[in-house]
Chain A
């Protein structure tokens, strides 16, 4: 991997973040309803409203407001919540930590199931196991998270009573209870990812198993196991890095829904609360942090891929 590739990729990520910040600012700042009225309530006097608008800089041209906001964000200042009066940044970053825990657990769980399932389907191509995995994955990609979450809640929390229905317990307080509260959210957001990634792994591996070097390995008398493990999987699993990174976008969307349903105080729930309260700085911070997380994950995945796959020479 060349330095110029790395630099170019850094530049692209920076451009992405600027575009994202512009979009987030544009779609929130032109919201119907004025932030000053929101802050003071319906009965505020015109003088008080004017004073608040002046303090928040709401009368300035939109691009001045954007510059002011972006300048603050670059210094780690995301503004003050209109709802709670607290600084938005620290609250969102803390919530992001909880969401990341959920996301990392989900990705780990997903990989532990999706890789074996995808490999099984590819090796047994066209047989019962393949068809079963394919069929189940169609169901998996066709269930929205709120449906899965509701059905899981109904089954595991209500009827079987194995797991708590909603809520969140910090890991430091009671690790066992904390994990028990995370099981249903992790299961829910994993369903779609398992279905998607296992299908991708299957199709990659099917392609790889048809290449000449696999035929050569078979012909030189290697065992089926060695062919699969040494020659097949290594090449088939590499693109999985990119697929998983792209799926983090789905994952973040799923996280919004799942946190709302299971009352998990992560960044998705903060965002929903902020949207309901029309809390502009909080919406902007939440959306920007989520999108930035996604960009950074994809940047890391691209770099890792370029580093691992020596055949790829970017310039």
Chain B
């Protein structure tokens, strides 16, 4: 673990990504404590204000403090994206490992179906599922998780195929272990590293997808301070205060950049080819 972090810090991507993600994690943990104002308190006299000493990032259409809303919204945005990615990764990993374990016809059938599901663009798929489930954050998390599962299954399977040929799997088969035991206890733990890399990159995508669903009205609902929703609401008032759009946009971009960098850094750190 310490060795991994040391290798991560050696590449510029890894170091920068790790710092940004660590910062975001700290903000998620202590954000509500550090927020200078209550995120829902309206102040009609200080609407549409730019940055000032009292309101560092300005105020929105109800005079609510944007910084405080962003700090509270970090949980609503990043944690949800994390949960969605975790859901998609777990489902995908199990399907992918199972497919590699079964092999032959079953593998072929599962993978062709996974390919077919992947031919529905992620956003479209997530839109359809969110539409089916309902308009809320939890439904959006489910939708993104389901939309991610096929891609994760594909990646997991390709790694699991090499694991499948390892002696410890043959040994487990020879011992007469059941299929579930071999998939869950012998194979899955050994395909985890590439899954973590892919999942890290996908958190970036999930943050964006989740914000997009909220933006389209199918994710978090007002008065939540989810970042995509903040951009959606701010669009109506962008002539009065561009700051309202700028800050949540920057927050989304920063988190996505952080996870993208960390994912690339992890990939280099976990398989040192060069």
Q: Which residues of A are in contact with B by a Cβ distance under 8 Å?
A: 12, 15-16, 18-20, 23-24, 27-28, 30-32, 138-139, 141-147, 150-151, 154, 158, 249-250, 252-254, 256-257, 260, 271-272, 275-276, 283, 287, 290-291, 294-295, 298
Contact = CB atoms under 8 A, between A and B. Distances in A.
Central interface residue in A20, A147, A150, A249, by most chain B CB within 10 Å: A147
Interface of B: 112-113, 115-124, 127-129, 131-132, 134, 204, 208-209, 211-212, 215-218, 228, 231-232, 235, 238-239, 242, 245, 249, 252-253, 256-257, 260-261
A23 B120 contact: yes
Q: Is the interface of A mostly helix, strand, loop or mixed?
A: helix
Contact of A291 (B112, B120, B256): B120
Contacts of A291: 119-121, 124
Contacts of B232: 146
Nearest to B248: A147
Given A139-B253, A142-B204, A295-B119, A275 B124 contact: no
A163 to B, nearest CB: 16
Contacts of A298: 119
A20 B132 contact: no
Contact of B127 (A146, A158, A275): A275
Contacts of B112: 12, 15
Contact of B129 (A27, A32, A158): A27
A275 B129 CA distance: 11
A24 B124 CA distance: 10
A141 B255 CA distance: 12
- Tell me which of A24, A27, A28 has the highest count of chain B C-beta atoms within 10 A of its own C-beta: A27
SS class, residues of chain B in contact with chain A: helix
Contact of B238 (A138, A143, A154, A295): A154
B207 to A, nearest CB: 8
Contacts of A260: 216
Contacts, number: 128
A290 B121 contact: yes
A139 B257 contact: yes
B121 A249 contact: yes
A291 to B, nearest CB: 5
B253 A142 contact: yes
A254 B123 CA distance: 8
Closest 6 CB pairs of A and B: A253-B123, A142-B256, A19-B116, A144-B208, A16-B116, A142-B257
B215 A252 contact: no
A144 B211 contact: yes
B249 A147 contact: yes
A252 B131 contact: no
B183 to A, nearest CB: 24
A16 B121 contact: no
A150 B249 contact: yes
B231 A257 contact: no
Contact of B131 (A12, A147, A275, A294): A275
Contact of A147 (B124, B209, B242, B252): B252
A134 to B, nearest CB: 9
Nearest to A249: B121
B252 A144 contact: yes
Given A15-B112, A287-B128, A294 B216 contact: no
Contacts of B245: 150-151, 154
B161 to A, nearest CB: 19
9 contacts: A12-B112, A15-B112, A16-B115, A16-B119, A28-B131, A143-B256, A144-B208, A249-B118, A256-B124
